[in-house]
Amino acid sequence: MKALVESFTEQLKAAKNIASKAVISKSGSIQNIIVTGLGGSGIGGTILNELVNDSCSVPIIINKDYFLPAFANANTLLIVSSYSGNTEETVQVMNEAISRKVQIACVTSGGKVLELAKQHQFDFIEIPGGNPPRSCIGYSLVQLIQILIAKGFADKKLMADLDKSIDLLTKEKENIKTEATQIAKQLNGQLAVIYSLGTCEGVSVRFRQQINENSKALCWHHVFPEMNHNELVGWTTENKNLTVVTFHTSFDYKRTQKRYEVCKPIFQKYAKEVIDIKAKGDSKLEQFLYLIHLGDWISCYIADIRGIDAVEVNVINHLKQELSKF
């Protein structure tokens, strides 16, 4: 897994090259967009939504279930994101979308999704397969961006921001690994409580998933300001097994920043410590990818400290085997 994380910038370069060669058709009328996918395949949709939510002219819904929302129709663009192409929830949604004549575009490395895309002549972008889906967020996210650009719902500037992101991660490579090593030591044996300040909840979700899968540990995440209306009330008992990790970007709203400033002393009172992580870069994409890459390294270093295999997901494989019996 560390080798895969190490090659993240190369993956982003390869992903941009794939995107530049993609052939995406012009769509008919699109009134809404659904991105369907789960786990390492689905997180790209969550990140994408936050990248364009202040500029996209139609609503984007992130779907992580077996079923297509009832409103989906011929004026809906469904973007199917499945790394393997065989995610059963995603394939079921795709089949339902076909029956309802929804417009479809796919990002996958193969499997049933690619088969259906070719059979029905849907737009698709094929990405390299053979690795854990969570290690290929660069491939999937860049293709999701490309589809939105091609369909007229995202600015081409995002690809220029991608180039800047690659430069930033290359420049900060050793600093990121040094910071990640220190944070991993602080988080080892702790239950991480992950917060973001509204702008980048997807980064928090990604970090939670990486702690779950790579570090083989439980944690939870929430987001400001919503947590101020519920979870904050739960901070009433000292628990030195908790460490708070917060993600900050330059796009965080000033009122939300003030909320965090008020809440931080509360976290410090009851948790072991609070670790504030600040993004580098200028654009949203640069800052998101910086935080994602740092979080990936942290999860791998925790696995190293614990002496466990960051790649294996035996319990998920067991679940799939049991489900295959029905």
Q: What is the reported pLDDT for 132?
A: 92
**Rounded distance, CA 284 to CA 52, Å?**
9
**Rounded distance, CA 111 to CA 107, Å?**
11
Q: Mark whether 137 and 98 lie in a shared domain.
A: yes
Give 24's DSSP letter. Answer: -
Q: What is the reported pLDDT for 273?
A: 98
Q: Mark whether 83 and 199 lie in a shared domain.
A: no
pLDDT at 27 over 80: no
Q: Residue 276's closest CA among 300, 255, 252?
A: 252
Q: What is the reported pLDDT for 126?
A: 97
Q: Mark whether 91 and 140 lie in a shared domain.
A: yes
- Give the pLDDT mean for 277-282: 98
Q: pLDDT (tens digit, 9 = 90+) per residue, 130-142? A: 999 999 999 999 9
CATH of the domain at 89: 3.40.50.10490
Q: Mark whether 21 and 141 lie in a shared domain.
A: yes
* Beta-ladder partners of 191: 242
Q: Would residue 168 count as lying in a domain? A: no
Which member of 101, 156, 269, 320 is catalytic? 320
Q: Mark whether 117 and 259 lie in a shared domain.
A: no
Q: Mark whether 6 and 132 lie in a shared domain.
A: yes
What's the pLDDT band for 28 if we cut at 50, 70, 90? confident
- Give the pLDDT mean for 225-237: 98
Q: Would residue 99 count as lying in a domain? A: yes
Q: Would residue 165 count as lying in a domain? A: no
Q: What is the reported pLDDT for 276?
A: 98
List the 273-278 sheet strands across, edge first. Answer: 219-223, 191-196, 242-248, 273-278
- Give the pLDDT mean for 167-175: 98
Q: What is the reported pLDDT for 26?
A: 82
- Give the pLDDT mean for 244-263: 98
Active site residue 229: yes
Residue 34's domain comprises 2-155
- Give the pLDDT mean for 5-21: 97
Which member of 89, 126, 201, 213 is catalytic? 213
- Give the pLDDT mean for 222-238: 98
Q: Would residue 313 count as lying in a domain? A: no
Q: What is the reported pLDDT for 268?
A: 98
Q: Would residue 222 count as lying in a domain? A: yes
Residue with tokens 């895309």: 117
Q: Mark whether 227 and 150 lie in a shared domain.
A: no
**Rounded distance, CA 37 to CA 113, Å?**
11
Provide the 3-class DSSP secondary structure of residue 59: coil
Q: Which residue has the higher pLDDT, 106 or 322?
A: 106
Q: Mark whether 258 and 288 lie in a shared domain.
A: yes
Q: What is the reported pLDDT for 319?
A: 86
- Give the pLDDT mean for 30-38: 97
pLDDT at 290 over 80: yes
Q: Would residue 161 count as lying in a domain? A: no
Q: Would residue 163 count as lying in a domain? A: no
Q: Mark whether 190 and 123 lie in a shared domain.
A: no
Active site residue 273: no
- Give the pLDDT mean for 180-191: 98
- Give the pLDDT mean for 299-319: 93
Which member of 229, 254, 261, 322 is catalytic? 229
Q: Mark whether 221 and 140 lie in a shared domain.
A: no
pLDDT at 321 over 90: no
Q: Mark whether 87 and 199 lie in a shared domain.
A: no
Residues 6+ apart with CB under 8 A from 79: 33, 34, 35, 36, 45, 104, 105, 106, 107, 144, 147
Active site residue 174: no
Q: What is the reported pLDDT for 277?
A: 98
**What is the per-residue burial (b if ≥16 Cβ within 10 Å, else e) of 110-141?**
bbbbbebbeeeebbbbbbebebbbbbbbbbbb
* Pair 235, 267: CB distance under 8 Å: yes
Task: Give the count of domains, the chain.
Answer: 2
Q: What is the reported pLDDT for 322?
A: 87
Q: Mark whether 139 and 218 lie in a shared domain.
A: no
Q: Would residue 326 count as lying in a domain? A: no
Q: What are phi and psi of 282, to 5 degrees?
A: -100, -50
